[in-house]
Each structure stands twice: as structure tokens, then as C-alpha cells.
């Protein structure tokens, strides 16, 4: 038991030498253990301040993540627009017929196919 007391005294000294170890470490405290109303109120106010700081930090972290995601989305949209434009240009280039040099005899070719007049009757 004496060893534990010495250990806690050492921890208290390392953390700032405060008489109340629980108040030196930020976090949620159990305020129902306090006997006087002033100490209980102070404990509750400390809890509220801790929670407000925690919420503010979490809100800022989430806002930074949302901003980063928005920037990434905008960059991806720009990339997609560039790729779409490139694709449209490639498709337009494929659809255009290649200009051929006109031949001197540009008469349309007539088919040599004649209707078959022979009958296979035997």
C-alpha cells in the first residue's frame, strides 16, 4: 500500500505537483462524488468545457476533411472534362472520311451482273 502511495505521489509530481490529480488531466470527471455544491458545479463546468473543446476539435477536423474531399472532387471533375474532350476529338477524327484524290475517269462503275436467263429445266 505504501508503494502505491509513493507511486501516485511521484505521478502527481511529474504532472505538475497538483493536489488533485484528477483535475490536472483533462477529461470527463465523475462529479457526483463531490460533497459541496461549489465543487460539483466546478466539476460540471470543467466537463462542459472539455466537451466543447472536443466537439470544436472534431468539427474542425471534419471540416478539413470535407474541404480536402471537395478539392479532390473538383480536380477529378476537371480530369473527366479533359478526357471527355479528348475522346470527342478522337471520335470526330475517326468519323471524318479521309479525302481521296479524284480519279480522271470518275464514271460510276456499272455492275456486270446480268440476270440469269437460263433455266435449269431438264
| Chain segment 56-71, per-residue pLDDT in tens | 999 999 999 999 999 9
Q: Which three cell numbers stand for residue 20?
A: 488533485
User: How much is the average pLDDT of 19-44?
Assistant: 77
Which residues have a Cβ under 8 Å from the Cβ of 18 and sit 6 or more positions away?
12, 24
- % of the chain beyond a pLDDT of 70: 58
The pLDDT score that the predictor gives to residue 19 is 42
Stretch 95-117: mean pLDDT: 63
Mean pLDDT of 22-38: 77
| CA gap 91, 38 in Å, rounded | 78
Provide mean pLDDT across the span 84-102: 83
Average confidence score pLDDT of the chain:
76
Q: Where are the domains of the chain?
A: 22-92
Could you give the CA distance from residue 92 to residue 80 in angstroms, rounded to a whole number?
Answer: 18
CA angle 29, 4, 33 (to 5 degrees): 25
- pLDDT at 115 exceeding the cut of 70: no
The share of the chain scoring above pLDDT 90, in percent, equals: 46
Per-residue pLDDT, 13: 44
Amino acid at each position: 500500500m505504501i508503494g502505491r502511495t509513493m507511486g501516485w505521489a511521484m505521478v502527481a509530481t511529474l504532472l505538475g505537483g497538483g493536489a488533485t490529480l484528477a483535475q490536472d488531466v483533462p477529461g470527463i470527471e465523475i462529479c457526483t462524488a463531490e460533497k459541496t455544491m461549489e465543487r460539483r458545479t466546478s466539476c460540471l463546468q470543467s466537463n462542459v468545457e472539455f466537451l466543447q473543446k472536443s466537439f470544436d476539435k472534431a468539427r474542425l477536423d471534419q471540416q478539413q476533411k470535407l474541404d480536402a474531399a471537395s478539392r479532390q472532387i473538383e480536380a477529378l471533375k476537371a480530369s473527366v472534362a479533359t478526357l471527355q474532350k479528348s475522346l470527342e476529338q478522337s471520335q470526330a477524327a475517326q468519323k471524318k472520311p479521309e479525302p481521296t484524290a479524284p480519279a480522271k475517269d470518275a464514271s460510276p462503275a456499272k455492275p456486270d451482273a446480268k440476270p440469269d436467263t437460263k433455266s435449269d429445266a431438264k
